[in-house]
Chain A
C-alpha cells in the first residue's frame, strides 16, 4: 500500500499548523523590514550630523580647495598660532583641526600635515582629506617642475576591454558581476534551505522517537516511506514558508515605503540626485545598458533548469542525512557530533563558491568541487552563470543523483534501526553495524 501522500500531507499540515511555525512565518519578514528601516534611519541620522573641521593653513597653498558641504563645514583659521587654534577648536567643540605647516617644498610639506582631534577621527573623513590634499599638491608639484597639466589631462586614457567569446557573444565586467550575483544567490539559497529545513526534518524524526509513536507507525508503513514522506512534507512546508516570506516581505516593503514615502524621498535626496546625475551621464548610461545586456546574456533557461535539478537533488541528499541523524539519537543535544560531517562540506562548498569561482570559474578547484556530490549542488549552481558545458552539468548531476540514491539507502537503513533504538548515543562504529543489519 502506498501511504506516501498521506504521510506527506500529515507532515505538511503538522508543520504548517504548528504555532511557532506560523509565528516565525509572519514575524520574520516584519522583523527584517523593521531592522532594515531602523538601520536605514540610523545611518541617515548619522549622515545628517554636520562636522566642523577647522583648517590652519600656514602655507596658504591648500585652503582654497576646501569647500563646505551639507555634512562638513570647513572653518578656515588665519593668523593664529597652533596652540590658539587647538584651544579654539576644543572650546567650540569642533570635530578636529587640520594643520598645514608653512614649508615651501611641496614634498616636505605633504609629509608634515597633521590632524588634531579629541577622539580618533573617522576613517572616511581622513581619507577624504587625504584625497583632496594629494590631488591638489600633486598638481602644484607638476607645475613646480614645469609639466603642463593640460597636456597630462589630454594624454590620459581609460581602458575598458571589450570581451567577446569565439562564438561572437560579447560580455563585460558588469556581466561577470551579474553572473556572480545570480550564481551566488542560487548557491546561498540552497545552503540556507538545507540548514533550516534539514534541521526541521531532524527535529521531527526525534520528536517521533521521543513520543514513542514510531513503533505504531512502522507497523503500518515501511520506514523508508515514512522517511521520504517526512522529507517531502517538511520541504513543502519550507517552500510555503519561503513563498509567504517573499510575498509578505514585498507587501510590507511597499506599505512601509508608502507610509514613510515622503520621508524616504527626502532622506534619499543625495542618492537620488546622484542617480539623476548618473542617468544624464552617458558613461553610466552605458553601464546600465550593459547590466541589462548582461542579464539577458545569462544562460537563463540552463540556469533555471539546472537550479531546479541541483536544488532538489542537493537538498534531498542532505536532508536524508539529517533524517538519519535524527533517527540515530534520542534528543537534540546528542546530534552535535554527527552534524559536523554534514556542515563541513556545506560550508566548504560556499567558501569555494565565493572565493574560487569568482577568481576562476573554470579553474581546477572549481571544476573538481563542482563534481564532488557533497559540494557540487552549491558550487555548480555558482558556476553555471559563467557558462558550463552541458556534459559537465549532466555528469555532475548524474554523480549527485547516484550519491543521493546511495545516501537515501544508507540513511533508510540507519533510520530503520535507529528509530527503534533508545538509550545511549550510538558511535560511528555502531552506525556502520546498523547499516549491515
Chain B
C-alpha cells in the first residue's frame, strides 16, 4: 500500500536531553495510525517535526513522495494536545483567520465554515467570543479549524479530551468520515479503547525510541500467547481442574457466567492445537465457553513498556 508519510531516522536533542532517537515510522495512505507512548516519550516532538514546528537534528520526513517543505503546511491539519484559541476574538473571525493562515481564500473559508458549523449544529456561535463558550464548545471549534482546509494528513493529539461521550462519538464519526473521504489520520492518545476501535496501524514510542510498530492485527498476533478462556460444566469440577493442570498450563479465569462451571485460562504449547483442547473438554462435560484470549492494545502497551523499563 502507498505510504503517505515516511519518517526516516528522526533524531532530536534539546541540550543534553535526547527527545527522539532515530525514530522511523511509515503511515499508509488512508489509514488511521495510532502513535502511542507514555507521557514524555517523545510523541509530541515527533508530531512537531512532522508539522515543521521543530526541525529534526537528523533524519528525513517524506510526505506524499516529496521531502517535507513549506508548501506542505496546507496539507497537514494539526490538533495539538495543548489547545486554545484567542479568548477575546469572535468565533467566526478567528476561524477565518486560522483558515487563511492555512492558505484558504477568505470566501472559500467562509463557505466551508458555514458548512461545518451547520453540520456540527454550532451555526449561532459565529459572533460569540471564545471566552463565552464552554470548554467542549471551544473544542468543537478547534476541531473544525483543524479539518477545514481539507488536509491530506490529519494529526490529532488526544482529540477526545474535554468532550462528553455524545460529542466524543460525534467527533469519532467525523474522523472516520474524513478517512473515508481520503484523509490519513495520525492519532496520539492514551485512551487505548479508542485505539483499538479506530486504528489500523500503531507505533509505540518509549523513552525517545520506537519500540514497536506495525498493523494492529500483526502486533496482536505477535503478542498472543495461545491462551484460551474456557468454561466447562461437569459433575466434578475440581477433578477436571486437576486433570487439566497436569496436561496443560492453567490459571484460574475470571469471567461472569450464569451457572457455576469450571473457569480456566489454558495456555497451549507449540504441540497442542485448540482442537485438541476442545475435543478433550467436550469429552469431559458440557463446554459453555471457549474463547481465544487476544491481547488488548492496553496489555501490549503495559507489557512492552514495563519490559523496556526493566532492561
Contacts and interface: CB of A to CB of B under 8 A. Distances in A.
Interface of A: 1, 3, 6-7, 10, 14, 18, 207-208, 211-213, 215-221, 420, 422, 433, 437
Interface in B97-115: 97-98, 100-103
Given A213-B86, A216-B80, A221-B101, 7 more contacts: A1-B70, A1-B103, A18-B88, A212-B84, A213-B85, A220-B102, A420-B53
Contacts of B89: 14
Given A433-B15, A437-B14, A14 B86 contact: yes
A1 B84 contact: no
A211 B86 contact: yes
Given A1-B73, A216-B78, A437-B14, A6 B83 contact: no
B88 A14 contact: yes
Contact of A219 (B73, B87, B142): B73
Nearest to B99: A220
Contacts of A217: 98, 101
A211 B86 CA distance: 6
Contacts of A212: 80, 82-84
Interface string B66-81: 0000110110101010
A220 B84 contact: no
B53 A3 contact: no
B51 interface: yes
A216 B97 contact: no
B5 interface: no
B145 interface: yes
Interface residues of B, number: 29
A220 B86 contact: no
A125 B82 CA distance: 70
A212 B81 CA distance: 10
Contacts of B145: 216
A207 B85 CA distance: 10
Given A6-B101, A211-B86, A420-B53, A220 B80 contact: no
Contact of A215 (B53, B86, B87): B53
Interface of B: 14-15, 48, 51-53, 70-71, 73-74, 76, 78, 80, 82-89, 97-98, 100-103, 142, 145
Contacts of B82: 212, 215, 422
Nearest to B48: A420
A219 B78 contact: yes
B131 to A, nearest CB: 10
Contacts of A14: 86, 88-89
Contact of A220 (B15, B88, B98): B98
A215 B80 contact: yes
Contacts of B86: 14, 208, 211, 213
A224 to B, nearest CB: 13
Nearest to B131: A211
A320 B85 CA distance: 24
B237 to A, nearest CB: 58
A119 B97 CA distance: 68
Contacts of B70: 1
Closest 9 CB pairs of A and B: A212-B84, A220-B101, A215-B80, A211-B84, A219-B51, A219-B78, A213-B84, A212-B82, A218-B53
Contacts of B48: 420
19 contacts: A3-B100, A3-B101, A6-B97, A10-B97, A212-B80, A213-B84, A215-B78, A215-B80, A216-B83, A216-B84, A216-B85, A216-B142, A216-B145, A219-B51, A219-B52, A219-B80, A220-B101, A420-B53, A437-B15
Contacts of B84: 211-213, 216
A208 to B, nearest CB: 8
Contacts of B53: 215, 218-219, 420
Contacts of A433: 15
A215 B101 contact: no
A213 B146 CA distance: 12
A101 to B, nearest CB: 76
Contacts of A7: 101
Given A6-B100, A218-B53, A211 B76 contact: no
Contacts of B85: 211, 213, 216
Nearest to B101: A220
A214 to B, nearest CB: 8
A217 B53 CA distance: 10
Contacts of B51: 219
A1 B86 CA distance: 22
Nearest to B149: A220
Contact of B73 (A10, A207, A220, A437): A220
Contacts of A208: 86
B152 to A, nearest CB: 15
